[in-house]
Amino acid sequence: MAERHQLGGARWRSERLTRAGLGRVRMSTRSNHVRDRVRAILEKQLAAVDSLNGAAVVVRRARETTDGASEADRADAARHARTSALKTIQAAGRGRSAPVRFADILVATASRGVAPTDDAAAVAEAAYDVLGSGTHRVQPPASRGRSLLRSAAQRGLGPLARLEARLFLGLSSLPHPALVHATCEGIGSVATGGWIWVIGTFGAYLLRVEGSDRALKVVAPTIAAVAFISERPAKAFFSPRRPFNHLVTIMLLGGKPRGRSFPSGHAATSFAAAWSLGSVWPRRRPVFLGLAALVSSSRVYLGAHDPGEILAGTALGVALAELLRRPLDRLLSEVELPRMRPNAEAQDEHARAGPRSTP
């Protein structure tokens, strides 16, 4: 009886894992289908843009449609839509004149890209593949239309917005060899949450680098606080107040539509860590800040953040790190961390102590 019960339990677990695996495969297949279909729609519309005036009409229509709406408004509306992301984008391209049709498709794509839904990542990836400068290659007519759209998107911007657009294009439009692109994606992955900085500091502590105990006591709680503040209250505060128009403009310039991206969490945690480590090892501060700048610039290169989001994250991270540095030093100055001794040292000490006598 017990054997039968165990076999039944094993069979149930096996079936459950199989169903979970099939569910992931179906989800991946669906996402790939959505991405490919949205890519095809955008590329077809982009290839039809053959003049700067035509591109300007598209941009003007897109901005007029989204004027006054916030990022949170659009994301919430898309989340409660009854139709799928693909059907919404397809419906936006029916009827009307070609420039208006393309503008409505772009707005629908941006809206579904920032919505907290299952299809959002696939839609955002498709928008970046066609409008961005990543590794995906579009046909020459679409590439020309993309250049015209970027030029038109910079018209009518204020001085600061125009400067941000030029900085974004200057970095994100650099060549994207597959290896460099993958390396930047890897940097973004390991730097998420800032814990790579804590791991590196802990490595220095294990190697008994001078000052590493103080660095670890300051960096770990600083990263935890900055990661929480930048990802939760800061983004929750700015999302309802950030114009959706800005997100559409960045997408037209080649950015990936992403919800709740202001301020950049990568920049906040990286510069907070760099600033904290620099207070422990002042001579190495330029190295730490350079690494933080590398992490942050890789986000712009990949179209994941615009320079304004990076600047805001940098300011937030440095301000919080400086604000927390002295209180943490005072609070944790009496806390002694256990010293990890190398095996050889421990064996030498054991040998010096000699064999213990048994009663």
Q: Which of 101, 135, 156 is the last residue of a domain?
A: 156
Q: Quick one: pLDDT at residue 201?
A: 95
Does residue 11 surpass a pLDDT of 50?
Answer: yes
Which residue from 73, 11, 41 is spatially nearest to 242, judged by alpha carbons? 73
Residue 94: the pLDDT is 84
SS (H, E, C) 53-90: HHHHHHHHHHHHHHCCCEHHHHHHHHHCCCCCHHHHHH
pLDDT score for 278: 96
Residue 303 above 80 pLDDT? yes
Choose the final residue of a domain: 105, 136, 156: 156
Residues 198 and 143 occupy one common structural domain: no
Q: Are residues 124 and 225 in the same domain?
A: no
**Within a domain: residue 161?**
no
Please tell me whether residues 132 and 194 are part of one structural domain. no
Among the residue ranges 211-215, 227-231, 338-342, the one predicted with the least confidence is: 338-342
| One domain, residues 72 and 205 | no
Of the pLDDT bands very low, low, confident and very high (cuts 50, 70, 90), residue 258 is confident
- pLDDT, tens digit, 9 for 90 and up, residues 20-45: 444 444 558 889 999 999 999 999 99
pLDDT of residue 44: 95
Residues 237 and 144 in one domain: no
Q: HEC profile for 105-124?
A: HHHHHHHHHHCCCCCHHHHH
Is the pLDDT at 332 greater than 90, yes or no? no
Mean pLDDT of the chain: 88
Query: Which pLDDT belongs to residue 23?
Result: 44
Q: Give residue 21's pLDDT.
A: 46
Q: Is residue 5 part of a domain?
A: no
Please state the rounded mean pLDDT for residues 176-186: 96
Give the count of domains, the chain: 2
- For 100-104, what is the mean pLDDT? 95
Does residue 3 lie within any of the structural domains?
Answer: no
Does residue 354 surpass a pLDDT of 70?
Answer: no
Q: What angle do CA 176, 190, 32 make, to 5 degrees?
A: 60
Q: What pLDDT is attached to residue 186? A: 95
Residues 6+ apart with CB under 8 A from 42: 105, 106, 109, 126, 127, 130, 131
- The region of weakest confidence among 189-193, 310-314, 319-323, 353-357 is 353-357
pLDDT score, position 344: 45
- Asked whether residue 317 carries a pLDDT value surpassing 70, the answer given is yes
Residue 209: which domain range? Answer: 186-332
The fraction of the chain above a pLDDT of 70, given in percent, is 85
Verify that 56 and 152 share a domain, yes or no. Answer: yes
Co-location of 327 and 204 in the same domain: yes
Place 68 in a pLDDT band, splitting at 50, 70 and 90: confident
pLDDT at 202 over 60: yes
**What pLDDT does residue 198 have?**
94
Residues 320 and 239 in one domain: yes
HSE toward the beta carbon, residue 354, CA cutoff 13 A: 2
Per-residue pLDDT band at 84 (split at 50, 70, 90): very high
With 70 as the cut, is the pLDDT of residue 65 above it? yes
Which has the closest alpha carbon to 253: 154, 355, 120? 154
Q: What is the pLDDT of residue 67?
A: 83
Based on the domain organization, do 148 and 214 belong to the same domain? no
pTM across the whole model: 0.86
Regarding predicted confidence, which is higher, 54 or 93?
A: 54
Are 191 and 307 within one domain? yes
User: pLDDT confidence of 3, banded at 50, 70, 90?
Assistant: low
125 and 221 assigned to the same domain: no
In a domain, 300, yes or no: yes
Q: Are residues 136 and 215 in the same domain?
A: no
User: 70 has which bridge partners?
Assistant: 243
More confident residue, 11 or 117: 117
18 domain residue, yes or no = no
- Which sign does the torsion angle of CA 67, 68, 71, 72 carry? negative
